[in-house]
A and B are shown apart, each in its own frame.
Chain A
Amino acid sequence: QQQVKQSPQSLIVQKGGISIINCAYENTAFDYFPWYQQFPGKGPALLIAIRPDVSEKKEGRFTISFNKSAKQFSLHIMDSQPGDSATYFCAASMTSGNTPLVFGKGTRLSVIA
């Protein structure tokens, strides 16, 4: 049973464009939703995270939008740059129950000039 579904599997965006990656979760007890960026041969790096008490969080060019009723959250990368080309993973966990992160399958982003 996949608890976090991520789409699209791959994404090609023009430099300067907006990259949008979506995730849907099933467990309503999840209360922590991070996004990770992973370059080839490297470990995932925490990019930005959100909790259900807010609908949006912005850090620089990265924004998480959260829709609790739809059980969906998304990552928006504004002004996408070639250096943003990487694999992005959404994840979820229940911090109150100290449960581990459950990851989506990842989205491979390619930003082309």
Chain B
Amino acid sequence: DAGVTQSPTHLIKTRGQQVTLRCSPISGHKSVSWYQQVLGQGPQFIFQYYEKEERGRGNFPDRFSARQFPNYSSELNVNALLLGDSALYLCASSFNWGAQYFGPGTRLTVL
């Protein structure tokens, strides 16, 4: 079975630009969560979606937005990129509340 997939793998942007990251959950999973992982730290929660509705939002600025599509895939958008947005962005899917399975992540570098 395919796990969580994310695209692109790597991304280089400049300050002020906008970026869209994509995630496909494990088949049958209806919940998708996004996390940001800065080098040397644990993942920090950004958003959670379930059945296309936002169910939770972490302490991130409004420059961060997300959505979930009818096929349960999801996009994370970040506007007006800052140097501090450079991180590994992780998508996790879950069938119910509890076990979350992470994808390989998208490495975003902001120059």
Contact = CB atoms under 8 A, between A and B. Distances in A.
B84 interface: no
A45 B102 CA distance: 7
B81 interface: no
Contacts of A36: 102
A12 interface: no
Interface residues of A, number: 25
Contact of A46 (B48, B90, B101): B101
Interface string B14-46: 000000000000000000010100001111110
A49 B99 contact: yes
Given A42-B104, A89-B42, A96 B33 contact: no
Contacts of A62: none
B39 to A, nearest CB: 10
Given A43-B102, A43-B105, A96 B97 contact: yes
B56 interface: yes
B43 A103 contact: yes
Interface string A100-111: 111111100000
Q: A99, A101, A104, A106: which has the most chain B beta carbons within 10 Å? A: A101
Given A34-B100, A43-B88, A89-B43, 6 more contacts: A43-B6, A46-B102, A49-B99, A101-B100, A102-B45, A106-B42
